[in-house]
Structure 1
Amino acid sequence: MPLVEASNGQKADEMGAQQLRELELDRKRLLDTHEALSYHWRVWELTGLIRPSGMARLRYLLRAITLNVLVTLLFPLTLLARLILTRNMQELCENLTITITDIAANFKFINVFLVRRHLDRIRELLQVLDRRVLSVQHPEELLALRQAVGTARRSFRIFAGIFVVGTLLSCIRVAIAKERQLLYPAWFAVDWLSSDLAYVCICCYQLFGLIVQAVQDCANDSYPPAYLCVLTGHMRALELRVRRLGYPGHPDCPSRCRIVQLELHDCIEDFIHIIQLHATIQQILSIACLAQFLCTATVQCTVAMHFLYVADSHDLSAMMLSSVFFLAVTLEVFIICYFGDRMRSQSEQLCDAFYACNWLDQSPRFRRLLIFTLMRSQRTFCIYAGGYIAVTLETFEQVIRSTYSVFTLLLRAK
């Protein structure tokens, strides 16, 4: 009997330890702000930018090189060759819209490859900030970060929906065409008009390349707002924590003052991590945002020319496809600028939070630390495309105004 009781007690201890481990794992799963980038990370693994864990290096290199030579390199070259050989204005505008968008997307894809080491650094900083929030366990902070993660993931799904619509329109256009045509105007060194086998092979290649490029574009266009959204969420969590400093006030309790001072130290450490996170995000988004601004302005003007001069009223599928491109590039810039503007506003609210804490009842050392922190927090956080153009809603408004000005000039010229 004692042996049975000892055995049962041991099993109970093991079950208790297992439950504790499960609870700890559940607690960690409660908050992982890097989950906002889970879709993007998976796409980068599939397209060869990041080696998946557990995959052999040789296999990874073989897959990455093959995929990117066939799609990232050759696909835009076929579009560019066709653009050079185009002799009519309608095809020129249509091809130019597609080619510019594809080249800009590949440029952003290469930029992700060049800054991939910074992605690991961002992941480390997010884990540090997550641990702090989990240690505090304040429901408002947890809610703010969960909402940020959810918003970032929704932005990816929005872009995915746009690219799915564009791909389906291309397929429908080929299916209902009276004559043979490709998914996208491209040049191939074979006579696909008279060869069934060549036509099927080219269509299969274009469909494969289109799907891969759409997946790449979806990740490349949605990771800037995702990072900005997560950064804004951590700023919001820190703002809530700073506003609570010193409340409720106990000026006659020295131990309470020491605790509040330690809490301020923790807030300052998190503020430093947020500054580092912002600087790293600035490095990876600077070129990507600049490329997006240039692509948007060019594509909008090209689509306007297509509508004004050479749009065939009977080719509704071409008009719809151009409209999807116009909507996509406009929405890409709007979402980036929207989240950039939110981040800037949140940094101002974080500065206000340092003023709003109960510093009057605290020690002189607390006030000195607060003054130094206030001096830095007054510098507004902002992302600059190319190091010069602020990623804000004001910039989006300027882009739209510039496009409208060009559109007006084209309309008068007509």
Structure 2
Amino acid sequence: MFKYFLIVVVFAVYSKILGFLFTSGEIFILPLWSPFDQHIIMKFLYDFVVIHLLALQAIASDMYPPICFLLLNAHLKILSQQMLRLGVGGRECHTQSNIATIVERHIVILRIYKILDETLSKMYFVQLSVASLELCVSMTSIISRSMELPELMFTVGFAFAAIFEILPICVLADQFQTLSEKLADAAYATNWPDQSFRFAILFIIHRSQNCRLILAGGIVPINLSDFSQYCAIRLLFLSNLYNDILIKI
């Protein structure tokens, strides 16, 4: 996902740069004031550096939250594998020591998940709102305006970048829920009714099956299915907008 997001961002950046070169500066790389407006070469170099820094900042800020989920998902996979090996060829005391470690690590994972819930909820809601606005403005510009090819390439790349901003966190948050269910299945498969540590197993099963979804702004669940609905609603809106424009024409 990071690779594809990087490709989209680079595509958008260099379409702007090509537009500046092909139109001899008529299409600006950045529609911002710079101290070199009277010198086209210096302005090109200035905007070239600034747009790369902005792209780097966008990639870094958008990929930071998914990394947290990536680490949590990796730890959940490890716990599931350890759970499946419980009681296989080991002594009872050794097994009890292992289950205590697994319970402790699972609690730490759930605490980190709670912190992510508290921090990501508002942040993702703002990001979702901004991405929706960016996508609608970009697609409306494509439909209602006649653009030069480089400008059209940038607008399309920017629209895809707005989608990719929210995709990784949705995929990894959805994967966290799936891995939690797999951890509960692995715990259930340990023949827990006959084990002395069955209460610890029940604790893991209960906590894994009742891991609630993170809600953006307390409204929108952060998962893959809701991301698909988000894209479908935006595409439907743009389709209706395009039809309205054709009717007026």
Query: How high is the TM-score relative to the length of structure 1?
Result: 0.55
Bigger relative contact order, structure 1 or 2, given CA contacts below 8 A and separation 6+?
A: 2
Q: Are residues 317 and 212 of structure 1, via their aligned partners in 2, closer, same or farther at CA, if it must alter by over 3 Å? A: same
Aligned to 2:122: 287
User: Given residue 187 of structure 2, which amino acid in structure 1 is its aligned partner?
Assistant: F
Contact 1:286/1:384, CA 8 A, preserved across alignment: yes
Equivalences for residues 49-64 of structure 1 within 5 A? none
1:341 aligns with 2:174: yes
Aligned to 1:64: none
Aligned to 2:209: 378
Q: Give the superposed CA RMSD.
A: 2.3
User: Given residue 224 of structure 1, which amino acid in structure 2 is its aligned partner?
Assistant: P
What is the aligned counterpart of 1:331 among 164, 181, 189?
A: 164
Aligned to 2:84: 243
Aligned to 2:112: 277
Shift of 1:381: 4.9
Identity %: 26
Deviation sequence 1:309-358 (CA, Å, 0-9, x none): 1133xx11111111101111122222221122111111111111111113
User: Given residue 129 of structure 2, which amino acid in structure 1 is its aligned partner?
Assistant: L
Aligned to 1:209: 50
Q: Are residues 273 and 179 of structure 1, via their aligned partners in 2, closer, same or farther at CA, if it must alter by over 3 Å? A: closer
How far apart are the structure 2 equivalents of 1:283 and 1:217?
22
Deviation sequence 1:89-147 (CA, Å, 0-9, x none): xxxxxxxxxxxxxxxxxxxxxxxxxxxxxxxxxxxxxxxxxxxxxxxxxxxxxxxxxxx
How far apart are the structure 2 equivalents of 1:369 and 1:178?
70
Aligned to 2:10: 164
Shift of 1:164: 2.3
1:183 aligns with 2:32: no
Aligned to 2:74: 233
How far apart are the structure 2 equivalents of 1:163 and 1:375?
42
How far apart are the structure 2 equivalents of 1:246 and 1:391?
36
How far apart are the structure 2 equivalents of 1:322 and 1:376?
45
Any gaps of 5 or more consecutive residues in structure 1? 1-154, 250-255
Shift of 1:214: 0.9
Q: How many residues in Structure 1 have an aligned counterpart in Structure 2?
A: 245
Deviation sequence 1:188-239 (CA, Å, 0-9, x none): 6x893xx33xx44444433232121111111111122222122111111101
How far apart are the structure 2 equivalents of 1:235 and 1:276?
13
Contact 1:247/1:358, CA 8 A, preserved across alignment: no
Aligned to 2:242: 411
Query: How high is the TM-score relative to the length of structure 2?
Result: 0.88
User: Given residue 149 of structure 2, which amino acid in structure 1 is its aligned partner?
Assistant: L
Q: Are residues 288 and 330 of structure 1, via their aligned partners in 2, closer, same or farther at CA, if it must alter by over 3 Å? A: same
Contact 1:245/1:358, CA 8 A, preserved across alignment: no
Aligned to 1:40: none
Q: Are residues 210 and 178 of structure 1, via their aligned partners in 2, closer, same or farther at CA, if it must alter by over 3 Å? A: closer
User: Given residue 317 of structure 1, which amino acid in structure 2 is its aligned partner?
Assistant: P
Q: Are residues 412 and 162 of structure 1, via their aligned partners in 2, closer, same or farther at CA, if it must alter by over 3 Å? A: closer
Contact 2:12/2:153, CA 8 A, preserved across alignment: no
1:321 aligns with 2:162: no
Shift of 1:179: 5.3
